[in-house]
Chains A and B, each alone.
Chain A
Amino acid sequence: MAYDLVVIGTGPGGYVCAIRAAQLGMKVAVVEKDKTFGGTCLNVGCIPSKALLYASHLFEDAGHAFAGMGIGVSKPKLDLAQMMKFKDEGVDGNVKGVDFLFRKNKIDAFRGKGRIAAPGKVEVATGNGKNETIETKAIVIATGSDVARLSGIEIDEKRVVSSTGALALPKVPERLLVVGAGVIGLELGSVWRRLGAKVEVVEFLDRILPGMDGEIARQFQRVQEKQGIKFRLGAKITGIDGKGKTLKASVEPANGGKAETLEADAVLVAIGRVPYTDGLGLAEAGVALDNRKRVVVDAHYQTNVAGIFAIGDVIAGPMLAHKAEDEGVAVAEILAGHAGHVNYDAIPNVIYTFPEVASVGKTEEELKAAGIQYRAGKFPFTANGRAKVNRTTEGFVKILADAETDRVYGVHIIGADAGTLIGEVTLAIEIGASAEDIARTCHAHPTTSEAVKEAALAVDGRPIHM
C-alpha cells in the first residue's frame, strides 16, 4: 500500500507535519528509530530540561525566597532521584501524547531506522537485520540534529556529557564545567548551580549568547554572574584528562596564549548541534547538502530531488522546535496544494533560565548593520507593579521600531516570564503592527505584560510609569 507522505523522524517538526498532512486528508506514515516518539525535544531536550529548570527553581526559592515572604520551611533537602522521576514522568506524558495523536489521526508508525532507498521508497530497518519498504508519493526528512562534538574530547555521557547526559546526572557534581555559553549550556548550567554545583562556563567567543541582542546578552551575563555562575570568555578547551578522580580540562585563550588547567567533576559540552543526516541514504538518492551538512531545500522545502522534502534542524535556520513545527505545517499544506509559508522574521527565541530571556525579530546590531533607522523603547521591570511585588524585578523590555513608520522590527526581553510575554509581540511583528499599535492595545493590570506596553510607549518617548 502506498502512502501519500512518509515522515522520517517524529520530533516536533515530523510529528506536527504528519498530523497536519493527515488533517488535510493524506495517508501518512512516520518512521522513528528511537523507542519513543517526540525526538530530541520531548525526550532529551526542551521538555526534560524545563522539568528540571522548574523543579530546581522552586528548590532555590524554597531555600532563599520563601522566608522573606513569611513561608517558614527548614532548609530544603534535595532528593535528586525523585526530581529525575518528576522529569521522566513529564517526558513520559508528553511522548504518550504524541502516540495518542498519531492514533487519533490514523497515522501509521514504523519503528526502526529509516533510509531513503529511492524517491518514493523508504526502507525501515525493523531489527534483526530485517527491512521493510514503504512506498510513498512524498518523503519529508525531519531527522533533526545531534549534539556537536569537540575534536579530541570524548563524550562518555557519565562525566563528560552532552545535554542528554546533563539531564540525567546521578548526583550533583561539585564543580561543573560548561563548554559553550549558548542556550543549552546556560539552562543546564543554571539547573546544576541551583542544585549546588559550582558552575564555570567557557566560551570561545568574547560574549555569551551569540546572535542575541548585545545589550540583552551583557545584562544577562551580569545576572548570571550575580547568581554565581563564572564566565571565562574568549577561551577554548583543548583537551580533558579523565584519568584521575577529577577531570582536568586544559583551557587556553581563543587567540593563543598560556594554557591553564581547570578541575571539574563533570564537563558539559554544549557547543551546538549538527544536522542529523547520516545513514539516511541521502548521498545515494542524490540529495544535496550544503557546506555545513544541512539538507538544501527550496522555498517549498523540496530538496533537489523531486518528491523529497526536508524541515526542521536538518535544514538551514535556527534549530528551534517551533520553527520545525511551522515548517512541518507549511510543507504538509504545500503538499496538499495550499500556500504553506513560514515567516522567518517572526520566530521567537526563548532561554528558560531565571530570569528568562526572549527575543523575536531583529537585534540592534542587525538593524545597525543593515543601516535601518530605528527607535528603541526600553522599560525596566523595576518600574512594573507586578514585578515589584513579586520581587522579580530583574530585566527589561526593549522594543525596536522603524524611525519613520514605527513598524516593530524586534523585541528583546529579560524577565521572569519573558517567554510568555514574547507571544504578543511576535503577533505584532507578524501582522506588521507598529509600536503605537502595541501601546494602544489595552494590557491587563497588574501584569508584567504592562512592561511591554510601556516599552512600546517608550519608543515614542512617553512611558507613563517612568
Chain B
Amino acid sequence: MATEIRVPTLGESVTEATIARWFKKAGDAVAADEPLVELETDKVTVEVPAPAAGVLEEIRVKDGETVGVGAVLGSIKEGAGGAKAAPAKAAPAPAKAEAPKPALAPAAAPAAARPADLPLMPSVRRLAAESGVSPAGVPGSGKDGRVTKGDMLAAIAGAAKPAPAPAVARAPSPAPDAAREERVRMTRLRQTIATRLKEAQNTAAMLTTFNDVDMSAVMHMRSQYKEPFEKKHGVKLGFMGFFVKAVIAALKEIPAVNAEIDGEDLVYKNYYHVGVAVGTERGLVVPVVRDADQISIAEIEKKIADSAKRAREGKLSIDEMQGGTFTITNGGIYGSLLSTPILNAPQSGILGMHRIEERPVAVKGQVVIKPMMYLALSYDHRIVDGREAVTFLVRVKENLEDPARLVLDL
C-alpha cells in the first residue's frame, strides 16, 4: 500500500515552502519517522519524516521547487523493508487548539485548526477532483475549520488568477561585465525579508525619532554584578535584558506603541511579546520573548541567548518568531552609530540600539566623558502621535540612565 508524503502544517501565515533537499532517492528503503526531505520556509527549515516504513516509491517534487501546505511530496510503498526507527525529529505539531479558558474568561473564537481526519464535504471533494486544488492547503471557514464549498471556490479563483506581472527585468549588463556577474537565487528567507520590509514601508506612515542615553549606570551595574549573576543564572548579564525591561515600562505608559491597526480598528495588546532581532548567516530573524513583562531579566537573557543560538543554527520554530508586539534591534554590535530601523509589520514601534561610545558631554556646566548610545524609535504615525513617540523614547532613556526606576516601577 502506498502512503503519501505531504507537506505538514508549517505554522500560521506560512503557506508554502521550497524543497531544500531530499535525503533519500526513489527506491531507498526508509524507516518510519526517518527524515526524508528538508523544506525551507520563510523562516525556518523543517524536516519531513517518513509517515510509514517502506520504500520511497516516488519523488514528485524536486529540489528547489515550491509547494503549498498539504501538497503531496511523494509516496512510500509500505511494508517493503525498513524497520520502524526510533522517532527522529518530529515535524512541527499542527497549531494547537486553544486550551480551555478559565471560568468566565471570554472565550476566543474557536481555533481554526483542522483535525487531519475530518472528512471533506462532498462539494469540496468534487471541486478538488475537478480543479486539482488540494483542500489541504485551503483555510476552512466552516465549523471546526472545515473547508466549505465557498472556501474551495475562492481558492480555485485565487489559483486561476494570473500571477502578478513580474518586475521589469533589468537591462542586460555590457558583455564584459556580464561575465563577471554572479546570479544567485534569493533564499525564501531573503525573499520574505524583502517582501515584509517593503510591505511595512508601503503601509505604515513610518518615521523615526532619536535620543541618546548615558549608559554609565547600566554598565556600572553590569560590571558590578557580572560574576554573581552568571554564577547564579548560568548566563551572561548583557544589555538586552535592561533594554527589554525599559521598553516594557515605556510601553505600559504609551500603549499605542504596543498596538496595531486592523482594518478600521485599533488593537491594543495588553501583553508584551518583545521581538529581539538576531543576525544569522541566512539573514535577520526575530525570535520573540513572550510575556517579557512577567519574567525576570535573568530569564529574558536566557531566552535571548537560547533563541539566538538556535536562530544561527536555523533551528528556531515558526511559533517562536510569531506574535511579537514590539521589536528591538541592535545595530550597535556591528558598530552602527545611528540608523532608522524599519517596522516589523504589523507592529507599530521598533527600537534601534547602537554602539556605545565615549563622548564628551556637558553635565552641570562641565565637559565630562560618558559612554553614550544613540537610540532610534521608528513608529507608525497612523497610530502613534509624535508626542507619544518622543515621550516613549525619553522614558526608555530615563529607565536606562537610572535602572532603579525599573525596580521601583516609576
Contacts of B199 in A (CB 8 A): none
Bound together, the chains give a CA A172 to CA B104 distance in angstroms of 52
Contacts of B126 in A (CB 8 A): 436, 440
Bound together, the chains give a CA A402 to CA B149 distance in angstroms of 11
Bound together, the chains give a CA A134 to CA B110 distance in angstroms of 36
> Is A432 in contact with B101, judged by CB distance below 8 angstroms?
no
Among A337, A341, A434, contact of B123 (Cβ-Cβ < 8 Å): A434
List the one stretch of B44-52, B138-146, B167-175, B347-355 in contact with chain A.
B138-146
Bound together, the chains give a CA A437 to CA B125 distance in angstroms of 10
Instruction: Report the interface size class on chain A.
Output: 20 to 34
> Is B150 in contact with A405, judged by CB distance below 8 angstroms?
yes
Contacts of A432 in B (CB 8 A): 141-143, 146, 148, 150
- Give 1 or 0 for each of B79-121: 1 = CB within 8 Å of chain A CB: 0000000000000000000101111101100100000000001
Contacts of A430 in B (CB 8 A): 143
CB distance from B310 to the nearest CB of A (A): 34
Bound together, the chains give a CA A302 to CA B104 distance in angstroms of 9
Contacts of A300 in B (CB 8 A): 104, 106-107
Contacts of A335 in B (CB 8 A): 103-104
Contacts of A341 in B (CB 8 A): 107, 110
A404 within 8 A of B: yes
> Is A402 in contact with B98, judged by CB distance below 8 angstroms?
no
Bound together, the chains give a CA A407 to CA B121 distance in angstroms of 12
Between A337, A406, A440, the greatest number of chain B beta carbons within 10 A of the residue's beta carbon is seen for A337
Number of residues from B at the complex interface, CB < 8 A: 23
Bound together, the chains give a CA A309 to CA B202 distance in angstroms of 48
B240 within 8 A of A: no
> Is A437 in contact with B122, judged by CB distance below 8 angstroms?
yes
CB distance from B96 to the nearest CB of A (A): 14
B2 within 8 A of A: no
Among A338, A405, A441, contact of B153 (Cβ-Cβ < 8 Å): A405
> Is B150 in contact with A404, judged by CB distance below 8 angstroms?
yes
> Is A406 in contact with B142, judged by CB distance below 8 angstroms?
no
Closest to A299 in B: B106
The SS class assigned to the B binding surface is loop
Q: For residues 373 through 418 of chain A, which have their beta carbon under 8 Å from a beta carbon of chain B?
A: 402, 404-407
Among B100, B102, B144, B149, contact of A407 (Cβ-Cβ < 8 Å): B149
CB distance from A430 to the nearest CB of B (A): 6
A283 within 8 A of B: no
Bound together, the chains give a CA A433 to CA B148 distance in angstroms of 6
Between B100, B101, B104, the greatest number of chain A beta carbons within 10 A of the residue's beta carbon is seen for B104
> Is B148 in contact with A334, judged by CB distance below 8 angstroms?
no
> Is A440 in contact with B101, judged by CB distance below 8 angstroms?
no
A81 within 8 A of B: no
Bound together, the chains give a CA A337 to CA B154 distance in angstroms of 36
> Is A440 in contact with B122, judged by CB distance below 8 angstroms?
yes
CB distance from A338 to the nearest CB of B (A): 6
CB distance from A452 to the nearest CB of B (A): 15
Contacts of B143 in A (CB 8 A): 430-432
Contacts of A299 in B (CB 8 A): 106
> Is B100 in contact with A434, judged by CB distance below 8 angstroms?
no
Q: For residues 160 through 217 of chain B, which have their beta carbon under 8 Å from a beta carbon of chain A?
A: none
Known: A337-B103, A339-B107; 7 extra A-B contacts, CB below 8 A, are A337-B100, A338-B101, A405-B150, A406-B123, A432-B150, A436-B122, A437-B123
Interface residues of A (CB under 8 A from B): 299-300, 302, 334-341, 402, 404-407, 430-434, 436-437, 440-441
User: What would 10 A/B residue contacts be, using CB atoms closer than 8 Å?
Assistant: A337-B103, A338-B100, A341-B107, A404-B150, A404-B153, A430-B143, A431-B144, A433-B123, A440-B123, A441-B122
